[in-house]
Amino acid sequence: MSPEVSPPSSPTAAQASEARWKLAFEANGDGVWDWDIPSGRVEFSDGFKTMLGVPPDTSWHDVQDWSDRVHPDDLAGVLACIEDHLAGRTATYSSEHRLQCADGNWKWVLGRGLLLTRGASGAPLRMLGSHTDISATQRVDADRRMLEPAPIGSAVYSAATGLTVYVSASFEQVHGVPRGTLTSVMDFYDDVFADPEERRSFRERVHADIASGDHMRMRWDEVPLTTRGGERRWVTAAFIPIPERHIIVATVQDITDTYLAAEALKRQTVHLRERNVDLVRFNRAAVDRELRMVELKQEVNSLLSRLGEPPRYDDRL
């Protein structure tokens, strides 16, 4: 290798790549941060500030500008996650925590990042990452935890005639029909299901399961129900034959709130996973690029040393 080694043009390409990545995350509403660890200086994107209701031209350049806004109950855990990553105990940094907005309210964020470079001694030098607003996911999860089991409606039918012996008010309420509507098994499907396809599908499913004689098949979860009033619901239903009494006990429970909360959580989880794939892909490429630059600079310094000249680069990028 010739000692006349000129610095490569890679930094310009690297900067352009990072700029494109940051713009992509900004377009998704994420906030991006770039941390120079030895100096404690952090570059926060406009999107990061906007997420917290702070004007983009606000002067934020220090780690403390972020740490002062982390919820006191979350700070120790967040710092531990960062320390684990800087120490090499985790492949990436990831933490869910609360940040205080300009109006004093708290916003849940998912912080993710990756250490890009270390010095010759192994000291961490630079870390890059993003913050994603996950407040909606946290609210849905909290709603699910707080949901109390909905009342269970019940009805008793004669096994011989199919006529109702008893119908609770909640049984008819869950099915969206006026009190006194449900009087027989034969008319149940027509009385309850406004949508012909839902009516046909559930009738066939129930009849097949009852005909099987398998009592374990006589419970139906997440049954879609469009009421006569046009309301979309999801219910859990069950038939419990009691042959010695010649009756069938039917139960129903409205699980609409729980079902919708679970579906919203699933969608949000898929969305975050897809975005995380993009971050990991970029992080891997960034690490490879940074390592190549470090190796090349070290090689340049080594060649200069052989020529008796001082090093051109320090450990920093």
| pLDDT tens per residue across span 118-166 | 998 999 999 988 888 888 766 655 555 544 455 788 888 888 888 988 8
Domain borders along the chain are 10-143+263-306, 151-254
Strand partners, 132: 110
pLDDT digits (tens, 9 = 90+) for 227-286: 888 899 999 888 888 888 888 888 899 989 888 888 887 787 777 777 666 666 666 666
Domain 151-254 class, CATH top level: alpha beta
pLDDT digits (tens, 9 = 90+) for 32-44: 899 999 999 999 9
Structure tokens at 262: 């679970």
Say if 10-143+263-306 and 151-254 have the same CATH topology.
yes
Q: Whole-structure pTM over 0.85, yes or no?
A: no
Side by side, the strands of the sheet bearing 152-158 are 164-167, 152-158, 247-254, 232-242, 219-226
CATH of 10-143+263-306, one of 3.30.420.40, 3.30.590.10, 3.40.50.2000, 3.30.450.20: 3.30.450.20
pLDDT at 65 over 50: yes
pLDDT digits (tens, 9 = 90+) for 68-77: 999 999 999 9
Task: Measure the CA dihedral 271/276/278/279, to 10°.
Answer: 150
H or E segment to which residue 24 belongs: helix 10-27
CA 21/CA 10 separation, integer angstroms: 16
